[in-house]
Amino acid sequence: MFGAFERDWLARPLPTRADLLPAPGRLDVPPEVEGLPVPADRAPAEFPAGEAEGLRRLRKFLSGPVARYHRERDRLDLDSTSGLSPYLRFGIVSPRLAAAAAAALLSDPEAGAGARAWLRQLIWRDFYQARLYHPLHKAEAAFRRGAGPPGRSGREAFRAWCEGRTGSPLVDAAMRQLLTTGWMPNRARLVAASFLVRFLLVDWGHGEGWFRRFLVDGELAVNLGNWQWVAGIGEDRSPFIRLFDPVRQGRRFNPAGAYIRRWCPELAGLDSRWVHAPWEAESPPASYPRPMVDPAWAGGRPWNIAPG
Ligand SMILES: Cc1cc2nc3c(=O)[nH]c(=O)nc-3n(C[C@H](O)[C@H](O)[C@H](O)COP(=O)(O)OP(=O)(O)OC[C@H]3O[C@@H](n4cnc5c(N)ncnc54)[C@H](O)[C@@H]3O)c2cc1C
Best of 58, 68, 121 to mutate for ligand 1, by most ligand atoms within 8 A of CB? 121
271: left (phi > 0), else alpha (psi -120 to 50), else beta?
beta
Q: Is 255 helix (H, G, I), strand (E, B) or coil?
A: coil
Under the banding of pLDDT at 50, 70 and 90, the label for residue 12 is very high
- Distance CA(196)–CA(243), nearest Å, equals 11
Distance in angstroms between the alpha carbons of the first and the last residue of the chain:
21
User: What is residue 259's predicted lDDT score, i.e. its pLDDT?
Assistant: 97
Q: Are 106 and 100 in contact (CB under 8 A)?
A: no
- Distance CA(77)–CA(74), nearest Å, equals 9
Task: Kindly give the number of the ligand 1 atom that is closest to the alpha carbon of 193.
Answer: 1
User: What is residue 181's predicted lDDT score, i.e. its pLDDT?
Assistant: 93
Mean pLDDT of 149-153: 60
Q: Per-residue pLDDT tens for 212-227?
A: 999 999 999 999 999 9
244: left (phi > 0), else alpha (psi -120 to 50), else beta?
beta
pLDDT for 43 beyond 80: no
ipTM exceeding the 0.95 mark: yes
Domains of the chain: 2-133 (1.25.40.80), 155-300 (1.10.579.10)
User: What is residue 80's predicted lDDT score, i.e. its pLDDT?
Assistant: 93
CA atoms within 13 A on the CB side of 52: 1
Gap from CA of 93 to ligand 1 centroid (Å) = 15
94 lines ligand 1 (CB under 6 A): no
The residue type at 286? A
Q: Per-residue pLDDT tens for 160-181?
A: 999 999 999 999 999 999 999 9
Task: Kindly give the number of the ligand 1 atom that is closest to the alpha carbon of 212.
Answer: 8
Please, what is the average pLDDT of the chain?
88
How many CB atoms are located within 10 Å of the residue 117 CB? 15
Under the banding of pLDDT at 50, 70 and 90, the label for residue 308 is very low
Q: Is 132 helix (H, G, I), strand (E, B) or coil?
A: helix
User: What is residue 151's predicted lDDT score, i.e. its pLDDT?
Assistant: 61
Gap from CA of 36 to ligand 1 centroid (Å) = 27
